[in-house]
Structure 1
């Protein structure tokens, strides 16, 4: 029984090694960048960032990876998203990831970027939560929309994966397993990522 923690730790270490990346050391942290924001006519509220663990605040970290700058790497186990930058660095964001039974891993590409997107719950979600049927034709953009201020749409060789990197008004969900497989960021963070990442960028979910 004593071997179980070691096996889990070794598995996580192996996953990181297979991705060819590791991070250590923060070079800059953006804790003061979570104030109220006016964006496209919407007033995003201030995030009480002091209530969120410091490790999930947006920050530039040293990051050793074989992936080229512009790549996005998601580490669901540690609830981090890395945007690879030049010179061995990355912008790191705290994220919320898929709850048990909804997590996934693999490689995709960002095929579309949308500001203040419409959210359309997929049929399986409506089946699980019938109250969402009213949004079958799409929930309009807004402060309560689950996709938040921005969405990045992930496609692979088979087409739309159905998964997104997106904002979310529920800042308390960062650092938790909460979604149906999408990767969610604080709204202020998804705006920052949206402005950095390009269509066609590679996305790796470990």
Structure 2
């Protein structure tokens, strides 16, 4: 459902997508994609031992976060520092949906690069926004339009409690324009098979361990630039 500003409702479920349970609300049928056969590959930019440390379990969270199954992630989507020339200020977030990357500008021609999932066909968008608010272990509330199309969402009309099954995950950055929430977010996912794919209704998902890193570095009012796909 489009908002008055022309944005697609980022929390809507494709009415033609398979019903795959609570965690698939944001990612639709793409959650069923087969795992990539990458076991044993050495991730670009880091050793396998380092990748296992960076993407290992996070037991001290409100809801303990499991380790990422690295065999389900193409190594090119694992976090690394890269050369990225940009005139944007340090801290600016740049989303490149065509390449399934999110960059955080670090200065001196460098950026931290994270692999991401992005909007599926028909739900891509581009433009500038900013982080209007942040949330740890947020409640997710499906909009009325979504419930009308997807009756299985009705039990969560008053909000889905935080947890690993919540579509927004452990951390969420909410994108705003001109003081209004766009219904788009940058959120965390524990579904590694979605990284590098177009699966959502316009939101951008990072592996939870990557989102924890980006979230801590990103204050409210940070600029976000979404490039054209």
Contact 2:72 2:192 in 1 (8 A): no
Does 2:67 align with 1:49?
no
Counterparts of 2:197 and 2:106, CA distance in 1: 26
Does 2:122 align with 1:89?
no
Uncovered stretches (5+) of structure 2, i.e. residues with no partner? 1-43
Please give the residue correspondences for 1:61-72 in structure 2 after superposition, counting only pairs within 5 Å. Answer: 61-72=82-93
**Which of the pair is proportionally richer in helix?**
1
Uncovered stretches (5+) of structure 1, i.e. residues with no partner? 1-26
Question: Residues 39 and 101 (structure 1 numbering): CA distance in 2 closer, same or farther, change over 3 Å?
Answer: farther
**1:135 Cα deviation after fit:** 0.8
Count of residue pairs the alignment pairs up: 181
Please give the residue correspondences for 1:35-184 in structure 2 after superposition, counting only pairs within 5 Å. Answer: 35-157=56-178, 159-184=180-205
Counterparts of 1:57 and 1:167, CA distance in 2: 14
Q: 1:31 aligns with which of 41, 47, 51?
A: 51
Q: CA RMSD in A?
A: 1.7
Structure 1 SS opposite 2:85: strand
Counterparts of 2:81 and 2:145, CA distance in 1: 37
Counterparts of 1:98 and 1:125, CA distance in 2: 17
TM superposition score normalised by structure 2:
0.75
Counterparts of 2:149 and 2:112, CA distance in 1: 35
Partner of 2:209: 188
Question: Residues 46 and 105 (structure 1 numbering): CA distance in 2 closer, same or farther, change over 3 Å?
Answer: same
Counterparts of 1:39 and 1:98, CA distance in 2: 31
Q: 2:224 aligns with which of 194, 203, 206?
A: 203
**Which of the pair is proportionally richer in strand?**
1
Deviations for 1:148-169, whole angstroms, at most 9, x for unmatched residues?
A: 1100011001511010000012
Bigger RCO of structures 1 and 2 (CA < 8 A, at least 6 apart): 2
